[in-house]
């Protein structure tokens, strides 16, 4: 089943607000009017940005209420150095700008049968949880949110969270030397609890390692990474089925280069976790640089497959069965 990416939704920016020095909050409304597609908390959309030189397609978590579909809201952290996407959103996009977005996809959904939800957010990783909190408030299932930021100034949504969830949320600031006690939290949760983590790579790794060490089964541990495709050296690619030659720039992802060549390649997460863009490697005269979290170590070592959304090659010619 391949999702058609021609099927994007035209939206207009109806609000744009700088919430911290690095974070900008956007509200999109459908140009056609009416309602946007329904979604569940944890979903992301792909925002298509048509820059002067390149087209960027970046995933952003929806943070608005799943119960209000006349608009979608996202927050964009300005990454420094930016590959182009976050800088585009910060510099070029303002109220009135028209953009295209892809339909929401949820790769970070709440477990419906959980007895308790434990939400761990770091920095901009709070965004999917803001939407999930709307869903959680409608249930009887206990939940708690632990939200860590560098400092109160960098905590884009500290106030919002503190007001919305005075009982169930706890805030932490690195600047005050207050950190989430991951081991303490994970060692005392009732059976049937699900833990969700979204934040910096180091925080996600700590939660996953700690959970495993404390006997949490994988089925109860959920994470969402916000990782831009790593940059690297330029290389050439030949798409065998399409008969297309293309060149991948140092700060461009393989998937972006394939799309720029006019091939409608499949994708969902654009973050190396969902496995949807998996491509078969025919040959490579160098080495593959796997940056995904989907392929097993054996698959990576075999050199037969690659996830073009985040992975690349250190070679002069990569041939794909696309």
Partner 1 sequence: MLITGIRSKPVYAPLQPDLGGRYHVMVGYGVGAAPLSRLLGDFGQADPEALARTRVWYVADAASPQANADAFRAAGVAELRTFTAVDALLSDLTTDLDQALMGTRLYVAGPESFMGLVMRIAHGFNLAQDEVRAEQCGTLARRVHCIHCRETIENVRTNIVRCVCGRWLVVRDHYSRRLAAYMGVMVDAEVPGERPEIKEVFL
Hey, which residues between 66 and 125 contact partner 1 (CB under 8 A)? 111, 113-115
**What's the CA gap between 73 and 127, in Å, rounded?**
9
Nearer to partner 1 by Cβ, of 11 and 145: the residue is 145
Nearer to partner 1 by Cβ, of 192 and 250: the residue is 192
- Selected from 33, 34, 191, 243, the binder of partner 1 by CB under 8 A is 191
Tokens 């569940």 belong to residue: 40
Residue 145 CA to its chain's centroid (Å): 19
- Does 60 interact with partner 1 (rule: CB under 8 A)? no
- Does 184 interact with partner 1 (rule: CB under 8 A)? no
Which residues are CB-neighbours of 110 under 8 A, at least 6 positions away?
Answer: 40, 41, 42, 117, 132, 135, 136, 194, 196
CB of 209 to partner 1, least distance (A): 13
- Does 1 interact with partner 1 (rule: CB under 8 A)? no
- Does 190 interact with partner 1 (rule: CB under 8 A)? yes
Which region, judged by CB under 8 A, interacts with partner 1, from 25-33, 48-56, 200-208, 216-224?
216-224
CB of 187 to partner 1, least distance (A): 7
* DSSP annotation of 220: G
Q: By CB neighbour count within 10 A (0-12 exposed, 13-18 middle, 19+ buried), where does 83 fall?
A: buried
Which residues are CB-neighbours of 136 under 8 A, at least 6 positions away?
Answer: 41, 110, 117, 143
Report the candidate in 80, 142, 78, 148 with the shortest Cα–Cα distance to residue 110: 142
- Selected from 94, 218, 243, 262, the binder of partner 1 by CB under 8 A is 218
CB of 140 to partner 1, least distance (A): 14
Residues of the shown chain interacting with partner 1 in the complex, contacts defined by CB under 8 A = 111, 113-115, 186-194, 212, 214-220
């Amino acid at each position: 089943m391949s999702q058609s990416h021609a099927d994007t939704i035209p939206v207009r920016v109806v609000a744009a607000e700088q919430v911290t020095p690095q974070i900008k909050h956007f509200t999109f409304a459908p140009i056609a009017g009416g309602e946007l597609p329904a979604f569940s908390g944890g979903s992301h959309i792909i925002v298509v940005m048509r820059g002067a030189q390149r087209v960027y397609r970046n995933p952003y978590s929806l943070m608005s209420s799943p119960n209000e579909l006349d608009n979608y809201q996202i927050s964009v952290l300005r990454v420094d150095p930016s590959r182009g996407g976050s800088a585009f959103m910060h510099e070029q996009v303002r109220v009135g700008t028209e953009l295209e977005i892809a339909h929401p996809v949820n790769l970070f959904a709440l477990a419906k049968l959980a007895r308790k939800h434990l939400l761990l957010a770091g920095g901009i990783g709070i965004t999917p949880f803001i939407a999930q909190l709307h869903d959680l408030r409608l249930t009887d299932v206990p939940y708690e949110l632990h939200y860590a930021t560098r400092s109160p100034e960098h905590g884009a949504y500290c106030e919002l969270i503190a007001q919305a969830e005075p009982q169930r949320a706890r805030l932490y600031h690195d600047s005050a030397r207050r950190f989430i006690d991951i081991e303490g939290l994970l060692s005392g949760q009732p059976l049937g609890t699900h833990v969700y983590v979204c934040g910096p790579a180091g925080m996600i790794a700590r939660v996953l390692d700690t959970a495993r060490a404390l006997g949490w089964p994988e089925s109860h541990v959920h994470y969402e990474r916000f990782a831009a495709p790593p940059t690297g050296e330029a290389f050439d690619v030949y798409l065998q089925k399409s008969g297309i030659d293309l060149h991948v720039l140092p700060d461009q992802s393989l998937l972006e280069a394939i799309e720029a060549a006019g091939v409608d390649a499949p994708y969902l997460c654009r973050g190396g976790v969902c496995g949807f863009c998996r491509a078969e490697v025919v040959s490579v005269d160098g080495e593959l640089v796997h940056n995904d979290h989907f392929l097993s170590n054996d698959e990576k070592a075999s050199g037969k497959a690659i996830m073009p959304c985040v992975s690349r090659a250190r070679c002069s010619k990569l041939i794909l069965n696309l």
